[in-house]
Amino acid sequence: MSQGALRAAMARLRAAGVADPAGDARRLLAFAMGVDPGRLTVVLGDPLTAEAAERFAAAVAARAARQPVAQITGARDFHGIRLRVTRDTLDPRPETERLVEAALERRFDRVLDLGTGTGAILLALLAARGDATGLGVDLSQAALVVAQGNAAALGIGARARFVRSDWYSAVEGRFDLIVSNPPYIAAAEMAGLSPEVRDWEPHLALTPGGDGLDAYRAIAAGARAHLAAAGVVMVEIGPTQGAAVADLFRAAGLQGIRILQDLDGRDRVVTGLGAA
């Protein structure tokens, strides 16, 4: 029965050191059975088919090896949209929704997403603003393929373009809004990350090396040249980086610098204006 398989999976994940063995086991069982996680309770008394049992066993083994759930199921819900996730992309975090929410407080027609990954930030913004268009850039061609597929699946492929670029190197034109969740983990911090992040997510999307600020230096340096009049740049940051990133923005000539907090009260987003 499904209930017995679920209990066994919880025990295995708990022994493997998974932080939320019960929640993860339920999500993986729903995935294996092909049902929405919200309906799992309804079908828990049903027997597992041979195919579902095999899929569940493989999923639990992968999670016990600390592979993230989103990579196993291939999907992540983010700010009202569903995104395909692979090992070539960063798993979109709930914290990044703070950046999306801050951006949606402003008016914009053209968006540039630097280091787009799955396309999460750009696509969430375009899904919320039906008349906006955007460009997502990434150094990883594999990530760009994922992002383009996500845009098509959401029905907004005609408004989202994706280009391989090292930050602004292949970017032309000006934008009302520049957004980014860049790699910001310092090299010395990598060893302390959870196995789910350190061993399974692309290091290119996690750390620029050194002090973790190189991406912000590049973003700040090119922002004014790519912002439209009254345009704004918004970046996600690590919770200890607010003051340092704000200083980089000021040194690059950006104005009206603000540091925004997330729901836990931690510094999460830094914003700066181009020309008034």
Per-domain residue ranges of the chain: 2-65, 80-273
Task: Write down the pLDDT at residue 46.
Answer: 81
Residue 122 near residue 134, CB atoms below 8 Å: yes
The three-point CA angle 80-82-86 to 5° equals 140
Residues 6+ apart with CB under 8 A from 33: 2, 40, 43, 46, 48, 52, 56
Tokens encoding 55: 């899929």
Residues 6+ apart with CB under 8 A from 89: 117, 118, 140, 142, 143, 146, 147, 202, 205
Per-residue pLDDT tens digits for 191-243 = 999 999 999 999 888 888 889 999 999 999 999 999 999 999 999 999 999 99
As a whole number of angstroms, the distance between CA 234 and CA 163 comes to: 20
- Give residue for tokens 């309906």: 39
Hey, what CATH topology would domain 80-273 get? Rossmann fold (3.40.50)
Task: Write down the pLDDT at residue 160.
Answer: 98
Residue 258: strand, helix, or coil: strand
Task: Write down the pLDDT at residue 4.
Answer: 87
Task: Write down the pLDDT at residue 208.
Answer: 85
Task: Write down the pLDDT at residue 139.
Answer: 96
Residue 70 near residue 76, CB atoms below 8 Å: yes
Give me the residues of the chain with pLDDT under 70, please.
Answer: 1, 275-276
Give the global pTM.
0.93
